[in-house]
Amino acid sequence: MTGKVLQAVPVLGRENLFVVPGGTALTDLTGVMVGRVQQQGCKAMRALAKVLAPIAGDFDVILIDTPPENTLLCDLALSTGRCLLMPTKTDKGGLVGVQLLAERYAIARELNPALALLGVVLFATNRQATAIHRSVRDRVAVAFGVGSSPVLTAIVGILGSHSRGVRQRVTNAPPTRRDGFRDTRSCEDAIRTKAFTTAPQMAVSGTHRVHASSGTRRPAPV
């Protein structure tokens, strides 16, 4: 927001993974953007796109992770990104969040027509609650106004001791810590597949990982 070029910080132990943390400057974001919107109108919402542009070509993928309670940051991300990927729970709060984000998504597409809905990922949910999952998929489809549900079939189930206890009682199988890992890898594969098929303009690498306002550095030509 200061006009400086963003500096990506490498993540130790993760090759080609870089992070740009928001930092304390985000506390001043609302005041700065209110003034800019008054002066520039809707064009002010392209501020994040402008600071990412100088470094975007160095990365295969850039993910912008926004806290749902910071609606201004969400709007900036929606005005910048190529695709929207939304994680949500299946409870009432999660469904309310889906509806609110769907409304902001529709508004953002007026400023950023290239924005597309990549999908919605269910997390912290009981893997056996298929009826609930179907209901949520239907409600998400209605919220985003699409013919088929954008909810990915891969989910991230309930993690932790509670999940392992339920698993043991239901299946009589020994508790395992690998369920969360398998869910995460399954979601990664589903997201990567859908990105290739629905958003071919995105250069999604099959070997790199990105997270939290971060990106994977594109390897230098050999």
> Residue 142's domain is classified under what CATH number?
3.40.50.300
Residues 61 and 141 in one domain: no
Residues 108 and 133 in one domain: yes
Render pLDDT for 4-51 as a digit per residue (tens, 0 to 9): 667 888 999 988 899 988 878 788 888 888 899 899 988 899 999 988
Residues 180 and 215 in one domain: no
Residues 92 and 197 in one domain: yes
Residues 197 and 100 in one domain: yes
Please, which pLDDT band fits residue 94 given cuts at 50, 70 and 90? very high
Residues 210 and 171 in one domain: no
Q: What is the mean pLDDT of residues 68-78?
A: 90
Q: How many domains does the chain have?
A: 2
Query: What domain range includes position 168?
Result: 86-201
Please, which pLDDT band fits residue 83 given cuts at 50, 70 and 90? very high
What's residue 128's pLDDT?
A: 87
Residues 71 and 123 in one domain: no
Residues 39 and 144 in one domain: no
What's residue 99's pLDDT?
A: 93
Residues 102 and 189 in one domain: yes
Please, which pLDDT band fits residue 61 given cuts at 50, 70 and 90? confident
Residues 47 and 90 in one domain: no
Distances (CA, A) of 77 to 47, 64, 70, 161, 213: 10, 7, 11, 35, 10
What's residue 220's pLDDT?
A: 39
Residues 15 and 111 in one domain: no
More confidently predicted of 214 and 194: 194
Render pLDDT for 115-173 as a digit per residue (tens, 0 to 9): 999 889 998 888 888 999 999 999 999 999 887 778 888 888 875 444 444 444 444 44
Residues 66 and 96 in one domain: no
pLDDT for residue 191 is more than 70? yes
pLDDT for residue 204 is more than 60? no
